[in-house]
Amino acid sequence: MKSHYQVLIIGGGTAGIMTAAQLLAKDKKLDVAIIEPSETHYYQPAWTLVGAGAYDFNKTAKRMADVMPSGVDWVKDKAMGFDPMQNSVSTESNGDITYDFLVVAPGLVMEPGMIKGLPEALELGVACSNYTDPEHTWNTIKNFKGGNALFTQPTTPIKCGGAPQKIAYLAADYFRKNGLKNKANVIFATPGTVIFGVKEIRETLMKVIDRYGIHFKPFYSPKEIDVENRIVHFSHTAPEENRCVINEDNELGEQMVGDVDISVPFDMLHLAPPQAAPRFVRDSVLSNDAGWLDVDHHSMQHNTYPNIFGLGDVAALPTAKTGAAVRKQVPVVVENIMKLMNHKPADNHSYNGYSSCPLVTGYGKMTLAEFDYNNNFIPDPKLKRMLVFNSDKEHWRLWMLKKHGLPYLYWNKMLKGKNV
């Protein structure tokens, strides 16, 4: 194994593979390596559909060897730390590898231990999560007989911020179609203040919540799971004037202790575990105070070390962590690296925070949130021409895009470095 590369990429996920493919499309003579320990590459956006029984889990996986771009050296190893003054990355088995340019894109990691009782709840199958085992989610939904179906998410940033509510809508639709509508209390509890930050999408989603009779609970921050008694304890984070009053004998069995502690019993629990940057990034000089990779919001260039770039879920960018965001970030990073190689400034600062969240609202229904750093709704003009309607409304064509179009584009275009 070589010990030096022109461009060293950490991570064989969407961001790492796309960056390598686009760099080599610009110049196939470039000396590029990807550090990635996994044997399998997953198309995780489809896990929402897997969790609802609408997609085959096996179709979300490919061998890492089959998605590695031609011409890349695959270092099948774990990155362990950085020495940016020496342009060096330490690995678990291959020692130190040096670089001219470094791209940090290892994604994020699940940290269930940040909520007391959650590791045990997941281990025992008391809780399910599309983020860790979507097939278990589908089994849980299929076997639900009634009571409180509680869906929630943590206070940390998470990949695809809309995913915890998508599965709530799909479950509500499934219960309705299978005679459980009057036996199920579907609850969506979120630390957020609104269902979605983009106004146009928010208006659509509130109609969806109303249609299913979902109990929407903003300002609910999960802090502990009582596995034995099947209760989730939340901190109620609303300002005093927005504090809710929990009446005794309410239909959900909620209880309030003091002003801020609310307990909700459940018969089914789905949640997104807390998430964080991998430890080797979190504890390094490359991270910001919150533990995410400290990069410029518009160029993805590191704020301290100009030959380092970061993108994808690990980057400290105030936008949703999605593959759609990566699709817009990669060309900016690639252009900036090519400019630096040619002794020009990395002056492409064009990334505007674009991200997109395909919000599945039922079987055969979806709305598509596309937005920037300021939560402006910015639908893709090409898509609008193709669909001939506003993507902020529910439509079966968007469901078809999610189920068939996007996986095809992912495997055949995005991972091959083609512009989509």
Give residue-wise pLDDT tens across range 128-177.
Answer: 999 999 999 999 999 999 999 999 999 999 999 999 999 999 999 999 99
**CB pairs under 8 A, 24+ apart, for 226-232?**
226/117, 226/263, 227/117, 227/120, 227/121, 227/124, 227/126, 229/265, 230/126, 230/265, 230/266, 230/267, 230/269, 231/263, 231/264, 231/265, 231/266, 232/150, 232/152, 232/189, 232/263, 232/264, 232/266, 232/269
What pLDDT is attached to residue 401? 93
Q: Is 128 labeled as catalytic in the residue annotation?
A: no
What is residue 366's predicted lDDT score, i.e. its pLDDT? 96
Put residue 221 in one of left, alpha, beta given phi > 0 → left and psi -120 to 50 → alpha.
Answer: beta
Distance CA 309, CA 326 (A): 13
Phi, psi (rounded to 5 degrees) for 293: -65, 125
Average pLDDT over residues 353-376: 96
CA distances to 80, 100, 174, 322 from 107, rounded to whole Å, are 14, 22, 32, 10
pLDDT-above-70 percentage for the chain: 98
pLDDT, tens digit, 9 for 90 and up, residues 284-305: 999 999 999 999 999 999 999 9
* Nearest-angstrom CA–CA distance, 297 and 293: 11
> With bands split at pLDDT 50, 70 and 90, how would you rate the model's confidence at 240?
confident
Going 222 to 226 to 230 to 231, the CA torsion angle's sign is: negative
Give the integer Cα–Cα distance in Å for 227 and 340: 53
Determine which one of 97, 128, 150, 160 is catalytic.
160
Q: How many angstroms separate the Cα of 273 from the Cα of each of 36, 61, 115, 276, 336?
A: 23, 22, 8, 10, 34
Q: What would the two tokens of residue 32 be?
A: 């590029």
pLDDT score of 69: 97
Q: Give the list of residues 6+ apart from residue 400 with CB closer than 8 angstroms, or none.
A: none
- pLDDT per position as a tens digit, 56-103: 999 999 999 999 999 999 999 999 999 999 999 999 999 999 999 999
pLDDT of residue 269: 98
Catalytic residue among 357, 360, 401, 406: 357
Q: What is the pLDDT of residue 388?
A: 56
Confidence of residue 244 (pLDDT cuts 50, 70, 90): confident
Q: Name the phi and psi angles at 381, rounded to 5.
A: -60, -35
pLDDT, residue 238, reads 84
> What is the model's pLDDT at position 16?
98
For the question of residue 244 being annotated catalytic, the response is: no
- Angle (deg, nearest 10), helices 163-177 and 199-212: 30
Confidence category of residue 387, pLDDT binned at 50, 70, 90:
low
Instruction: Answer yes or no: are the C-beta atoms of 137 and 51 closer than 8 Å.
Output: yes
Alpha carbon 298 to its chain centroid, in Å, reads 20
Residue 361, pLDDT score: 98
Residue ranges of domains in the chain, CATH in brackets:
4-108+277-351 (3.50.50.60), 113-274 (3.50.50.60)
